[in-house]
Amino acid sequence: MSTARPPVPAPQEPIEPQELLRLGLGAEETCLRADAARNRARLLEAAARLVAERGADGLTMEAVAVAANVGKGTVFRRFGDRTGLLSALLDHSERKLQTAFLTGPPPLGPGAPPAERLRAFGAAVLRRGVEELDLQLAAEADAGRRFVHPARRVLHQHVTLLLREAVPDADCELLAHTLMAQLDAALIHHLTRQRGMPLARLEAAWGDLVDRVTATGRATDAVAAVDATGSGDGAAPAQAAGAAGAADGDDLG
């Protein structure tokens, strides 16, 4: 006798693509004056040069101020702290990724089945993670802010929406967190640098995970359909009884 599934929470209202894109932006970025935008771009260019020369560990607010020929207070006012500066550096690639999965061509963008989009999404995030690993690790928010960071909320919401299409009877909000854990920068660091695993292996494992999750949903739907029609009722017991009877007849003979 199968155990009944716990009730799945009612899904939240879906977020429109434009809202998803806005989630990835800092509040001050949507209304920067032209001169402020230029100053911000100059600071980010200086920071990018420093990361290229010294790595993410060598990036400090003081070094950016010197490289951009501004006061240190200007850098702090613009980005808040070093984590904010690193997050701003990642913003460009984050926007590119969001644009690709929201409005780009399939399978990453709309138009492909949800399972295919999930596979393409994970592969894209893994590739980006390997390419920008040092920067992502340095910009990682502390435990209290990690799961409410706007960019992470965007990715989680996207995975949740795709799961609702693929496995609508699952608790997709929690399942999305489970899937996203395999795309975590710290795990990518451990697997690729400490364990020496190639990116191709991580991509294959992600595809296998997506297939198993979505296949389980399809199998559950198929079983439910059989139970609803009654076509499966008693078939297996009858076959088993027939086989047992045949075996008994052989023994008697």
Question: What pLDDT sits at residue 237?
Answer: 39
Domain that holds residue 157: 86-218
In a domain, 253, yes or no: no
* Residue 160 sits in the same domain as residue 109: yes
In a domain, 22, yes or no: no
Question: What pLDDT sits at residue 245?
Answer: 45
CATH of the domain at 69: 1.10.10
* Residue 65 sits in the same domain as residue 146: no
pLDDT tens track, the chain, 253 positions: 445 555 555 555 444 444 454 444 444 454 557 778 888 888 988 988 888 788 888 889 999 999 999 999 999 999 999 888 988 888 877 888 999 999 999 999 999 999 999 999 999 999 999 988 988 888 787 777 888 888 899 999 999 999 999 999 999 999 999 999 999 999 999 999 999 999 999 999 999 999 999 985 454 444 445 555 554 444 443 444 444 444 444 444 4
CATH of the domain at 102: 1.10.357.10
* Residue 75 sits in the same domain as residue 145: no
* Residue 99 sits in the same domain as residue 178: yes
* Residue 126 sits in the same domain as residue 182: yes
In a domain, 200, yes or no: yes
In a domain, 6, yes or no: no
* Residue 60 sits in the same domain as residue 166: no
In a domain, 161, yes or no: yes
Contact 75, 88 (CB under 8 A): no
- Give me the residue label for tokens 């496995």: 167
* Residue 97 sits in the same domain as residue 188: yes
CB atoms within 10 A of CB 7: 7
Question: What does the DSSP assignment read for the chain?
Answer: -PPPPPPPPPPPPPPPHHHHHHHTS-GGGGG--HHHHHHHHHHHHHHHHHHHHH-GGG--HHHHHHHHTS-HHHHHHHHSSHHHHHHHHHHHHHHHHHHHHHHS-TTTSTTS-HHHHHHHHHHHHHHHHHHTHHHHHHHPPPTTTGGG-HHHHHHHHHHHHHHHHH-TTS-HHHHHHHHHHTT-HHHHHIIIIIS---HHHHHHHHHHHHHHHHHHHHHHHHHHHHHHHTTTTTHHHHHHHHHHHHHHHHHH-
Quote the number of domains for the chain.
Answer: 2
In a domain, 142, yes or no: yes
* Residue 91 sits in the same domain as residue 210: yes
In a domain, 227, yes or no: no
* Residue 157 sits in the same domain as residue 58: no
In a domain, 101, yes or no: yes
First to last CA, the chain: 36
Among 80, 108, 139, the domain-final residue is: 80
Q: Is the pTM of this model over 0.75?
A: no
Cα(167)–Cα(156) distance, rounded to whole angstroms?
16
